[in-house]
Amino acid sequence: MKLNLVYFAWLKQSIGMGSEAVDTPANVATVNQLRDWLRSKGGGHGEAFGKDAVLRAAVNKAIVSDDHALQDGDEVAFFPPFTGG
């Protein structure tokens, strides 16, 4: 399915871009599976998603759990825990 991915903080720096449009294979149905697929791409993606660091996800600007089911056209964001305030 087609997804718009968004990255923040060190993840954005590590991957080298803030957003990208992807077309995922059929076996990517959940946030967790998307993360695994991104890691498998290697390069900046492999490094960023391969780190032993906490990453959170949001779909269409709302926090979701790892087993959240994705839909075609979703905006999926990955980022480390928040540090505002």
Contact between 19 and another protein by CB under 8 A: the answer reads: no
81 token code pair: 């825990």
CA distance 77 to 85: 21
Of 25, 26, 43, 61, the one binding another protein (CB under 8 A) is: 61
Stretch that binds another protein, among 21-29, 37-45, 72-80 (CB under 8 A): 72-80
**Pair of tokens at residue 38:** 């991104």
First to last CA, the chain: 36
- Closer Cβ to another protein, 37 or 79, answer by number: 79
- List contacts with another protein (CB under 8 A): 6, 8-10, 12, 54, 58, 61-62, 77, 79-85
